Structure 1
Amino acid sequence: MYAEIYTTIVSVEENLNDILSSHRQYCLINRELN
């Protein structure tokens, strides 16, 4: 039970990291275009 919750939290954190990094890249590209 606890292992499943921990795995879920880890995968959510990895997804958040991916979203944040892609968002950061988007902001950088946007800044260069403007």
Structure 2
Amino acid sequence: MKQRRRIYYSEKQKALMWERWRKGESLQKIARVF
């Protein structure tokens, strides 16, 4: 099995993810966006 490369997000993307997560969106849903 090949190891998945770690994805590095920009600060802006991280902030957006946190914002969405706080609003109650599931992590799967957020992950699909990125």
TM range (shorter): 0.3 to 0.5
Q: Give the structure with the larger helix fraction.
A: 1
Greater relative contact order, per chain length (Cα 8 Å cut-off, separation 6+):
2
